[in-house]
Structure formats: structure tokens, C-alpha cells
Amino acid sequence: MFPIPSDFPEYNPDDPSGVGIFTKRPDLQGDRPPGLIDLRRYMFQLGMVGPQSFVGAPFALTPEDLKAANVDVAILGAGIDFSYGVRGAAFGPKAVRNGELFFPPGYATPNQHTRVDPVNELVVADYGDAAVNNMSLYASIEPVRALVREVAETGTIPFIIGGDHSLMYPDVAALADVYGKGKVGIVHFDAHYDATDSGFGLNLTHGNPVRRLIEQGHASGHNFIQVGTRGWAPNDKDLGWMRDHGLRYHNMAQVDKFGWDYVMERAIEEAADGTDYLFISIDMDTFDPAYAPGVGTPEPNGLTPREMFPILRRLAAEKNVIGVELVEVAPTMDMSYQTGLIANRVIREVLTGIAMRKKGITEPYYFADEAIDGGQGQDWPQHR
Ligand SMILES: [Mn+2]
């Protein structure tokens, strides 16, 4: 994998001071029958009552749990934030778990655009967090990759909550391990192109997972679709590399020129062009900082929730999504809980799309009639 620079003392994975970080409890399954572990005491648990979990889901700790409960989506945290920008994304999973304020588990909460209730339609589990070594990104990559692979191998969709965007490397590599190298297409939402060659001499940071994945053949340039990029990069050299490798990018210049609907349709069309499996990578800095200030590298002139929610829901409903990541939530930058709230809603929109697909609702840009008919069945113009 990635070597530890030779000028530094070699990383010793067997060092007794660190070995417990990556060692699974020997009694993890024990005599316990496999299945979901629900930590709620009461039937109706408000958001301020703990313990917290992603979208209030019960926990699963082993692949046996996922298989026994036929889990559709396993949400897991990966707290890595070594890359440049403002740190704090390591605490993203904790903040996103705490973001479930309004919807007690088991309480019917249909998505109001589609009338599909994702949390109750799907079997969703909180799969806990990946082990990370907070001294080294390189030492943390393989454990994340192994945990994502462990989920995907059961047929459950892994939904990774970061952590910074260096996670795209182990997340996509793990899915390539399961579905084949170059077989998984990626729709990558981001303010930044994340395809520079190196960052301050390091070949893996949150600024270059795209480059490493394509160079190493885990993903193909042709099936790398970027949406929402803007600002002051890439430079000519890196843009040239992206064009040479066939990446398709829909930056904010394109949104300005052609409008969001055009970009959304193009991105969705391209997402299934030449691939049967889709991974959605969502950097929270895709959103304008007015909506999501709690990120490590905010960039003005971004997308709005009104633009992002439908494309996320549509990708998950209309395409075969086999993995998702939501990264770069940095709670220390999130002065008003806006980012945690939107992160929660991003998860819910994607889950809604996955639930729609499970129910057979895959028509383009679906809305429930009762959601758009104004309450009295008026003949409103179709929004499709
Ligand atoms: Mn990114």
C-alpha cells in the first residue's frame, strides 16, 4: 500500500501501545444471536435522549448481524482529518449522529416529495466507526478499506460518514475489491476537483484521492463524474490531466451557463454510461457555505439544498447505488448546527432514493401525485 516515509521511524502495527486500536473484541459476537442491536429503552425516543445513532438506526457490529437482519444500508463513521484545510472532520461522525433531532425511530416520517418513508422502508443499521490511528493517515487507510469491504461483501450498501475526503481512496478501493477494478462509476459532488498529484509531498491527502484511484485502476476516468466544482483550481496542468483521463466535470461555470436542470440531467445520464454500479461521493463543501459553513475548506458560490437534494434522491432511485460517502463535516466550524442538519437531510434524501428503488419507483424525477396536486387533485403542470 502506501509506505511510511523512510526518513521516519517505521510504523509498527504490532506496537503494543497501539495494537488495541485495530483489534476487534474477541467476544464481538460471542453467544449473542446475530441481528440488530437496539439501544433504545422507550418506544418513542426524542432526539435529545441517547444513545445516538445515525438516523436513529439500531446497531450492527459484525457481517453476521448484517446478513441475519437483511440490512439494506449500513452507515458507518470514519474519523480521519489529516489533510489541509481546517481540521475537525474527525469528529464529523459524532456530529452527524447527533443530528437526528426531530424524528424518533419507528415514527412514520415520509419524504414529502415522494411519500416514501426511507427509515422504515429500508433496514438501516448503524455499523459503528472504523478504527483509525490518529497519528497517521497511511496507517488508517487499510482498516477503513477493510471495514467498507466487509459491509459490501454481504450485499449491504455501505454509507460512510467522514472524516475528510482522503476517505474516497479506501472507500472506492474497497468497492473495487468487491465489484471489480474499474467497474464502479463515481458521481463526485465537491467544490474541489481533488485530483492534484500530491499535497506537500504526500501522495494521499483530501486533495488527491481521485488521482490515486484512477492511476491505480480502481476507478476509470470515463466513469468519474464531478458536480459542483468551482473557485480557483484546478491549474492548467491538473485540468489537462483530467481531460486526458476522460473525467467529465460539471462545474459552477456550467451551471451558470446552462442552468441546474441541464447539469442534473447530464450528470444522471452520464452516471450509468458504461457502468453497472454507482458510488456517490458527497463532499459537504459542495453546498454553498451559506448553507454548510461547517467544512474544512469552504468555497463560496456553491449549490443549494434545493439543487442537491433532488439529484441525490434521483441518483439513488434511478441508478444502482452500491456505496455512498458523506465527508468533510467539521463540527468545530459549524457554529449554528446548519451543516449537521443538512448532513442528516442528505443521508435521508439518499436513503429515500434507495427505498424508492427497492419499491420499484425508478421513473425519472418522480414526485408523488399527492405531493404536487395541491391537496384537491388540481391539474397542476407536471414537474417531471
Ligand atoms: Mn473533496
What is the structure's pLDDT at 186?
A: 98
pLDDT along the chain (384 residues), means of 10: 57 77 88 94 80 92 98 98 87 90 74 94 97 91 96 98 97 98 97 94 92 97 97 96 98 98 97 93 98 95 98 98 97 90 96 98 96 80 55
Cα 286 to ligand 1 centroid, rounded to whole Å = 8
Cα separation, 159 vs 74, in Å, equals 6
Give the separation between CA 163 and CA 296, rounded to whole angstroms. Answer: 10
CB-based contact 296:333 (threshold 8 Å): yes
Q: Could you give the CA distance from residue 291 to residue 299 in angstroms, rounded to a whole number?
A: 11
Query: From ligand 1's centre to the CA of 127, what distance in Å?
Result: 23
The pLDDT value recorded for residue 16 is 80
> Closest by alpha carbon to 295, among 282, 286, 310, 284?
284
Give the residue carrying C-alpha cell 468533510.
Answer: 328
Q: Report angle CA 212, 169, 224 to the nearest 5 degrees.
A: 70
Whole-number Å distance, alpha carbon 3 to ligand 1 midpoint, is 23
Can you tell me the distance from the alpha carbon of 222 to that of 277, in angstroms, rounded to the nearest whole number?
A: 14
The H-or-E segment that residue 125 falls in is strand 124-129
CB atoms closer than 10 angstroms to residue 30: 8
H or E stretch covering 327 = strand 321-327
- Ligand 1 geometric centre to CA of 199 (Å): 13
Give the HSE-up count for residue 115: Cα atoms under 13 Å, Cβ half-sphere.
9
Task: Give residue 77's pLDDT.
Answer: 98
Cα of 285 to ligand 1 centre, how many Å?
7
Q: What is the pLDDT of residue 8?
A: 57
pTM (2 d.p.)? 0.95
CA distance 166 to 84: 11
Residue 267 C-alpha to ligand 1 middle, in angstroms?
18
- Rounded Cα gap, residues 54 and 267, in angstroms: 28
Neighbours of ion ligand 1 (CB under 5 A): 165, 190, 194, 283
Q: Is 143 helix (H, G, I), strand (E, B) or coil?
A: helix
Query: Which structural domains are found in the chain, ordered by start?
Result: 52-370 (3.40.800.10)
What's the gap in Å between 366 CA and the centre of ligand 1?
29
Residue 206 Cα to ligand 1 midpoint, Å, equals 6
Q: In which element (H, E) is residue 369 found?
A: helix 369-372
- For residue 291, the model assigns a pLDDT of 96
How far does the centroid of ligand 1 lie from the alpha carbon of residue 154, in Å?
A: 28
